Amino acid sequence: MSTTLQALTANDLRTGEVVFRAAEGWTGRFAEAQLFSDPLDARAELDLAALETVRLADPYLIDVVVTDGFASPTSFRERIRALGPTVREDLGPQTEGGPRVEALRRSHAAARSAGRLGLIRKR
Amino acid sequence: MFIYDAIDAAMLKDRNAEFRDQVARRLSGDLTEAQFKPLRLMNGLYLQLHSYMLRVAIPYGSLNPNQLRALAQVARRWDRGYGHFTTRQNLQFHWTRLSDAPDILDHLATVGLHAIQTSGNCIRNTTSDPFAGAAADEADDARVWCEAIRQWSSFHPEFTYLPRKFKIAVTASATDRAAVRAHDIGLVLHRNAEGRLGFEVIVGGGLGRTPFIGKTIREHLPAEHLLSYLTAILRIYNLEGRRDNLYKARIKILVESLGAAAFAEKVEAEWAAMDRARIDLPDEELARIRASFGLIAYKKDPGARAAFEADKAQDRSFARFVRNNVAAHKHPDYAIVSVSLKAVGETPGDASADQMDVVAHLGETYGHGDIRVTHAQNLVLPHVPLRDVRAVYEKLSESGLATPNIDLASDIIACPGLDYCALANARAIPISQDIARRFSDPDRAEAVGELKIKISGCINACGHHHLGHIGILGVDKKGEEFFQFTLGGSGAEDAAVGQALGPAVPADKVADTVERLADAYLHLRAPGERFLDTVRRLGVGPFKAAAYADADPA
Amino acid sequence: MQMLIRLEQGRFVPAADDFFSLGAEGEAPAQGGVIVPFARWAELGARLLGEGRQVGVRLTSADPAQAMAPVLERLAVVAVEFPVFRDGRGYSTAVLLRTRLGFAGELRAAGDVLVDQAWNLARCGFDAFETKASPEAFAAAAHRFRHVYQASADDRPPAFVEREAV
């Protein structure tokens, strides 16, 4: 059974690395991202993040789907941001490996919703 | 090889100090992102999907061995051990940090490299023919004029905040290896009937959402007036280009809306009113630039050709390499050697730091210190003695740089696409790898012959797909990667925008489709015809039929 | 009174703005310098010039330099607006005013005038700046580059002239 939640992402201003809002602070691991079921909570976090102008660049909310206990971004683009380039598996957060990274890799098909347009870049 | 003088070096130093200060002010919060972003872009630094991407300028695609080695050092020390050569003859590092950018630029400045104006709404790197200075068919060395443009356009105070980016390309041969007709300004250097050197000035070419082939606004501009004429064009564009709509802001839109004749009149009027003497370069400066490129002391080597032919006769692989990757030099005892960055299974245009060092070494040892980048994302050693081509080939082979595929089906231009780029809708690199694998048999690739495939991951067309013999554009359809095909485009002197083939094709069908198109060509071609020629003779119809032969109606 | 930065003999100095900038509506004060928006020049320009006071015009980024040519000699100030710093039309307008039309009065940059554009503005012929930046910061930014590659509206010799002199 799948549920749709949200997560908050940005790039670290200094390093450019992809980061996600965690329960405390920010993390480079999607698996540690805080998941918001209430859009108002998510929005409140986004507004706070927008104030962090010397720490973050371009914070925004993304849709996340949870299937069989594993969370994955709905959008293919966000999956690539969370993992790294599909053509260089030795680069990006995916190099850490482990079950969470594997689940994220495999979740590509499960995360798709058929029929809607513009899903690859959808946040 | 062009040598920067003390003034050029001071420019880089001052620019880097300015940028270091701007980065510090951004990191401390003194500058907002909105204020900083245009400044950051004008130093070639993009925020991409995974990290900051730094685009290093390689002016008119020309490098010396020390510069290429410095790029390898940057890759190792501040990035992930590789770089990506682009369709504008630049190099991109995909994993840099904003906090490291000032140090990277300082390191690059020690060899006269920089990232000045490689992004932003300003005049970008002027690109050119990678064979300039070595080609038999050139009217003059285009690099001399490119260097004049580089200086004039660098930190031009009036043209720093244009409506949109501005790209200039220069060729000096009838054979256009620089796609000049797809640029905002394309310049064709030639001699007129009286033997005077001048430029055909072509304006309003461009790809992206609204592709155009440029229109000639002046058949012959005396060469010494190049910079004043460019100033006239840029001033009119700066004042009249649209600023209300990002997608209508390029000069091609202005030329199209005014009409080429009316636009030309405006340029001529502005040019006539200008105090040209202050802007055009005096003869002394042109001579200094010319001399700074140095003169290659070509050595005659009467026995070289026979030895070369003997080598080819004995070694089929070497012969194949020569057939595809080696071009004739203006001097009979030299050759122009291409370095393929399109090994099957690799990312098109990527080179590892080690590979960069190998090419630097070859350029230094055999190539008179001259290395070029092509807009097809390959490298060139333009001055290799015929006697040394074999040794160069062997060294390139050891490093995966000798795939004998220049201009063949596996010599694919592909943008970084959704694997790297924040603007992309689809991935381009794995598609290019799928296609290249289908043509990995060199006999099959040669049987098909010249077939320029170009892939873009979004409508911004950094992969130049509009100009492909086969052009492929990635789109997002129902959340899946689909690819639209065009046929019959060209970036050469017969420039044309490709025609749509039919409905978009899913990712896993792209390579099949390309094979069907290639097979259709083999079936339909007349003797001596390249793929492009057959498409032009027969039109898209038979190819469309072949491509979609068993397609589902859905 | 608004503070300006002026460029006088190569130095950036704070200065008081002696001019009253008229808006889209309203009257000029009885005396003193006044800057008229270009859109109101037809309505007010001739009369104000006739009063023997210091008169200027304020051009938006879309207003052509040429339009003021007939009266340029009589103007004390031309102010050119930058609605946003990225709108670079004002640089060409300034260059044309200075070099083509020979305007010798105060050429003032107004609107979104930030310190990082000081160098461009000065080279294009501006000598007054409506800005929140300090004169010191402006001067530092304007003097960033020891050399220039091309001629503009200022008198800095381009690199190729410097090279000839050696």
Question: What is the per-residue pLDDT for A50?
Answer: 96
Angle (CA) B14-B20-B25 rounded to 5° is 130
Q: Which of B142, B106, B135, B127 shows the shortest CA–CA distance to B18?
A: B106
**Looking at the partner chain, which of B29, B95, B425 has a beta carbon nearest the beta carbon of A120?**
B425
Q: What rounded mean pLDDT belongs to chain C? A: 95
pLDDT for position A123: 61
In the prediction, which pLDDT does A118 show?
55
CATH of B304-398, one of 3.40.50.720, 3.90.480.20, 3.30.450.40, 3.20.20.140: 3.90.480.20
Within 10 Å of residue B256's Cβ, how many Cβ atoms? 16
Q: Is B159 on the interface with C (CB under 8 A)?
A: yes
Q: What is the mean pLDDT of residues B303-319?
A: 97
CATH number of C3-165: 3.20.20
Token pair in block for residue B415: 């943008």
Read off the pLDDT of each residue in B25-52 and give the average, rounded to a whole number.
Answer: 96
| Residue in A15, A91, A115 nearest the CB of B99 | A15
Give C50's contacts (C-beta < 8 A, 6+ positions apart): none
Confidence of residue A115 (pLDDT cuts 50, 70, 90): very low
Average pLDDT, chain B: 97
Average pLDDT of the residues in B308-319: 97
User: What are the residue boundaries of the structural domains of chain C, listed by start?
Assistant: 3-165
- pLDDT, tens only, B214-261: 999 999 999 999 999 999 999 999 999 999 999 999 999 999 999 999
Question: Are C145 and B11 an interchain contact pair (Cβ–Cβ within 8 Å)?
Answer: yes
Q: Where in chain B is the domain with CATH 3.30.413.10?
A: 142-291, 413-547
All partners of chain B with 3 or more CB pairs under 8 angstroms: A, C
pLDDT at A1: 55
Q: How many CB atoms sit inside 10 A of residue B505's CB?
A: 21
pLDDT in tens, B18-32: 999 999 999 999 999
Residue B554 has pLDDT above 90, yes or no: no
Chains C and A touch (3+ CB pairs under 8 A): no
**What beta strand segments (E) does B301-369 contain?**
326-328, 334-339, 350-352
Mutate which of C59, C82, C86 to test chain B, going by most B C-beta atoms within 10 A? C86
The ipTM value here is 0.97
Question: Domain boundaries in chain A?
Answer: 2-111
Low-confidence residues in chain C, pLDDT < 70: 1
Percent of chain C at pLDDT > 90 equals 96
Please, what CATH class does the domain formed by B6-109 belong to? alpha beta
Which of B36, B158, B235, B288 is the best residue to mutate to test the C interface, defined by the most C CB atoms within 10 Å of its own CB? B158
C149 to B156: CB separation less than 8 angstroms, yes or no? yes
pLDDT at B552: 55
A3-15 pLDDT tens trace:
779 999 999 999 9
* Closest to B409 in 3D by CA, of B233, B530, B247, B280: B530
Please write the tens of the pLDDT for every residue from B380-431: 999 999 999 999 999 999 999 999 999 999 999 999 999 999 999 999 999 9
With a cut of 70, say whether residue A119 has pLDDT above it. Answer: no
Q: What is the model's pLDDT at position A114?
A: 39
Instruction: Give the B:C interface size as CB pairs under 8 Å.
Output: 99
Phi, then psi, of C89 in degrees rounded to 5? -65, -35
Q: Does A109 have pLDDT greater than 50?
A: no
Residue A36 C-alpha, separation from nearest chain B C-alpha, in angstroms: 23
Q: Which residue of A has its CA nearest to B479?
A: A119
Q: Which residue of B has its CA nearest to A85?
A: B419
The pLDDT tens digits of the residues spanning B476-517 come to 988 889 999 999 999 999 999 999 999 999 999 999 999 999
Residues of C in contact with B163 (CB under 8 A): 88
- B142-291 topology per CATH: Sulfite Reductase Hemoprotein; domain 1 (3.30.413)
Q: Which of A83, A120, A122 to mutate to test the interface with B (most CBs of B within 10 A)?
A: A120
* CATH for B413-547 (1.10.3720.10, 3.90.1530.10, 3.30.413.10, 3.40.50.1100): 3.30.413.10
Paired tokens of C157: 């010799």
